[in-house]
């Protein structure tokens, strides 16, 4: 069954979508969208280093994404406004990565695959790594769910309940770095943040509670992966943007739908 | 023994020494109010007691196994987070539905369990925050300006509720407030802070203390006049009581 590239692509995509959904909810609730962007864009630098030092792309991306996430955490709230800090870091990381890739000797690197994803080229080994990373993230978020949610509401409230908000931030940082590393193959560095945010935002229009929102985000992410995969296969479009186009479509539908329901209820 | 004790507590906030040399303790069943002008360090004091900020000097000792119920000043909930009241009360520890129903009724908002937090009025919101603190059956309730943004009758009824809760459960209550006239009359002890403890004692003692008068002013235009106010008349005058004593 895993010999079929379509099956592998679908499974890998679904794994990433399901892992990204609850994490994406926290990115939305904690207003970390730019944080996700900065971490994801750093992945290209990770790719360049991995190719340069001939180590696994997954490891290279994971390490650089983790470093980036740490730098952002440390710099947060020092001097510049947060969005300026993140804007500087996100785009610098991408630029450094692209320049670094161009220095690589003799290797012909197909950057498109790393920037926009190449879901149809997921190998058995890739699938194993992606599924493992996705399970790790999902397990981490589910394990810390209540504490994360409390720390998201208020750090003081978390402290009073015996929860260390700094530790919960670290959990999210770690999860984000792993998601970036496993999602690179699926949606590409430029659109990883979109896979985190758009399903969660679309789910917000449907859900009445935090758990329901995470669950709906996973469903929406899964449907988007499936749709994007079909589009990519039939029209030979890049996989990442195709998936994000589907997610954006669902966002539009749920937003319009929620507005309509609201209007009917108010009548 | 006391529930929480501090010895020579000093706290730094934003590169500034906001508190120094604080010796303080609170016993079971006591209602203690911290008052002080803007920037006096009273919120930092509460945060040090909660364990949010580490003391720079001195120490904070809590009774072993102390259960804290914390009511924050306000809570910003991102509009992206759908949060029904019942779910909020189950954070971080899931509470049984019956307990949730009971505690909501106790604080006077029995019908909001299924509502989204964002749809509550200011008074309902504060009562839900109090309900969450009560769910853990705390030994001490800590309130940071719990009535900011409530109107006069709202403030008064909130503190009546706090007094009832203390009587029923025997928990201690430590609040930071600028609603001086209401709070102080309900307190066993008032501690006036301005970087250090200026004066403390019963409300009557603190009101008469020269240190307190120096901070909050004298005469009919100042905060002091508000305490002699008899609250048996309508509040139809339009000036803001808190403007003289607004403390942060």
B63: in domain = no
Question: Is B81 in Cβ contact with A160 (below 8 Å)?
Answer: no
Point out the residues of chain B with pLDDT beneath 50.
219-248
Residue A149 pLDDT grade (very low, low, confident, very high; cuts 50, 70, 90): very high
pLDDT digits (tens, 9 = 90+) for A4-42: 888 999 999 999 999 999 999 999 999 888 888 888 888
Assign B149 to helix, strand or coil. coil
Q: What is the 3-state secondary structure (H, E, C) of chain A?
A: CCCCHHHHHHHHHHHHHHHHHHHHHHHHHCCCHHHHHHHHHHHHHHHHHHHHHCCCHHHHHHHHHHHHHHHHHHHCCCCCCHHHHHHHHHHHHHHHHHHHHHHCCCCCCCHHHHHHCCHHHCCHHHHHHHHHHHHHHHHHHHHHHHHHHHHHHCHHHHHHCCCCHHHHHHHHHHHHHHHHHHHHHHHCHHHHHHHHHHHHHHHHCCCCCHHHHHHHHHHHHHHHHHHHHHHHHHHCCCHHHHHHHHHHHHHHHHHHHHHHHHHHHHC
Cα distance from N-terminal residue to C-terminal residue, chain B = 31
pLDDT digits (tens, 9 = 90+) for A230-257: 998 899 888 889 999 999 999 999 999 9
Main-chain dihedrals φ then ψ at residue B69, nearest 5 degrees = -115, 120
> Looking at residue B229, what is its pLDDT?
36
Nearest CA in chain A to B70: A160
Q: How many structural domains does chain B have?
A: 1
> Looking at residue B192, what is its pLDDT?
87
- Residues of chain B with C-beta less than 8 angstroms from the C-beta of A213: 81-82
> Looking at residue A190, what is its pLDDT?
87
> Looking at residue B179, what is its pLDDT?
61
**For B92, which DSSP code?**
S
Q: Nearest CA of chain B to the CA of A228: how many Å?
A: 26
Q: Which of B39, B60, B31, B5 is nearest to B141 (CA)?
A: B31
Q: Which of A29, A157, A158 sits opposite B78 (nearest CB)?
A: A29
Torsion angle (degrees, nearest 10) of CA A149, A153, A154, A155: 30
The helix (H) or strand (E) run that includes residue B142 is strand B140-144
> Looking at residue B231, what is its pLDDT?
39
pLDDT digits (tens, 9 = 90+) for A214-236: 999 999 999 999 999 999 889 98
What's the token pair of residue B116? 């989204």
Q: Nearest CA of chain A to the CA of B78: how many Å?
A: 6
B7: in domain = no
Mutate which of A143, A157, A164, A216 to disrupt the B interface (most B C-beta within 10 Å)? A157
187-246 in chain A: CB under 8 A from chain B: 200-201, 204, 207-210, 212-213
Question: Is B51 in Cβ contact with A159 (below 8 Å)?
Answer: yes
B23: in domain = no
Number of inter-chain CB pairs under 8 A, A vs B: 71
> Looking at residue A214, what is its pLDDT?
96
Q: Round to whole Å and give the CA distance between B80 and B114.
A: 18
> Looking at residue B233, what is its pLDDT?
42
| pLDDT over 70, % of chain A | 96
Question: Is A30 in Cβ contact with B78 (below 8 Å)?
Answer: yes
Q: Which domain holds residue B169?
A: 28-38+69-229
Q: Round to whole Å and give the CA distance between A152 and B45.
A: 23
Averaged confidence pLDDT in chain A: 89
The ipTM estimated for the assembled molecules is: 0.83
Mean pLDDT confidence for A174-180: 92
Is residue A50 within 8 Å of A56, Cβ to Cβ?
yes
Length of chain A: 267
Q: Which of B50, B92, B144 sits opposite A146 (nearest CB)?
A: B92
> Looking at residue B180, what is its pLDDT?
66
- Residues of chain B with C-beta less than 8 angstroms from the C-beta of A147: 92
Cβ of B153: how many Cβ atoms within 10 Å? 11
Alpha helices in B108-246 (DSSP H): 122-135, 152-169, 180-185, 203-208, 210-216, 223-228
Most confident of A109-118, A195-204, B163-172: A195-204
Domains and CATH numbers, chain A: 5-266 (1.10.3470.10)
Query: Looking at residue B108, which CATH number applies to its domain?
Result: 3.40.50.300
B153: in domain = yes
Is residue A149 within 8 angstroms of chain B, CB to CB? yes
pLDDT digits (tens, 9 = 90+) for B61-76: 989 988 889 998 878 8
> Looking at residue B242, what is its pLDDT?
42
């Amino acid at each position: 069954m895993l010999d079929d590239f379509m099956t592998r692509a679908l499974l890998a995509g679904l794994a990433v979508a399901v892992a990204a959904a609850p994490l994406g909810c926290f990115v939305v609730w904690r207003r970390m969208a730019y944080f996700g962007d900065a971490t994801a864009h750093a992945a290209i630098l990770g790719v360049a280093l991995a190719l340069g030092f001939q180590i696994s792309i997954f490891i290279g991306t994971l390490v650089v994404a983790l470093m980036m996430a740490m730098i952002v955490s440390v710099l947060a709230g020092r001097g510049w406004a947060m969005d300026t800090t993140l804007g500087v870091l996100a785009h610098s990381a991408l630029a450094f990565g692209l320049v670094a890739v161009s220095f690589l000797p003799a290797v012909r690197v197909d950057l498109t695959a790393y920037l926009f994803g190449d879901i149809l080229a997921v190998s058995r080994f890739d699938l194993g790594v992606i599924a493992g990373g996705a399970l790790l993230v999902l397990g981490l978020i589910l394990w810390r769910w209540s504490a994360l949610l409390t720390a998201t509401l208020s750090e003081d409230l978390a402290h009073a309940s015996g929860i260390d908000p700094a530790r919960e931030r670290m959990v999210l940082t770690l999860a984000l770095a792993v998601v970036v590393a496993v999602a690179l193959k699926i949606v590409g560095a430029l659109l990883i943040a979109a896979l985190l945010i758009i399903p969660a935002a679309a789910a917000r229009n449907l859900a009445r509670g935090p758990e329901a929102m995470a669950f709906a985000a996973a469903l929406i992410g899964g449907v988007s992966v499936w749709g994007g995969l079909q589009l990519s296969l039939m029209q030979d479009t890049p996989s990442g943007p195709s998936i994000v186009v589907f997610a954006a479509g669902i966002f539009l539908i749920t937003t319009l739908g929620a507005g309509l329901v609201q209007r009917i209820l108010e009548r | 023994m006391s529930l929480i004790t501090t010895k020579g507590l000093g706290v730094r906030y934003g590169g500034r020494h906001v508190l120094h040399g604080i010796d303080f303790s609170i016993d079971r069943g006591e209602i203690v109010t911290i008052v002080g002008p803007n920037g006096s360090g009273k919120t930092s004091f509460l945060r040090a007691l909660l364990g949010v900020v580490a003391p720079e000097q001195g120490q904070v000792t809590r009774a072993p196994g102390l259960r804290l119920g914390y009511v924050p000043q306000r809570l910003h909930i991102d509009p992206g987070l759908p949060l029904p009241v019942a779910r909020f009360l189950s954070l971080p520890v899931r509470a049984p539905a019956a307990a949730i129903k009971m505690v909501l009724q106790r604080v006077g908002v029995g019908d909001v369990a299924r509502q989204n937090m964002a749809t509550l009025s200011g008074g309902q919101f504060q009562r839900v925050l109090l309900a969450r603190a009560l769910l853990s059956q705390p030994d001490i309730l800590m309130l940071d300006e719990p009535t900011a943004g409530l109107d006069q009758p709202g403030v008064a009824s909130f503190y009546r509720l706090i007094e009832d809760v203390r009587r029923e459960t025997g928990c201690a209550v430590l609040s930071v407030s600028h609603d001086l006239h209401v709070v102080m009359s309900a307190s066993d002890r008032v501690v006036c802070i301005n970087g250090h403890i200026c004066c403390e004692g019963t409300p009557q003692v603190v009101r008469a203390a020269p240190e307190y008068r120096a901070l909050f002013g004298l005469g009919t235009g100042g905060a002091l006049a508000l305490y002699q106010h008899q609250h048996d008349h309508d509040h139809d005058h339009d000036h803001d009581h808190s403007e003289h004593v607004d403390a942060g």
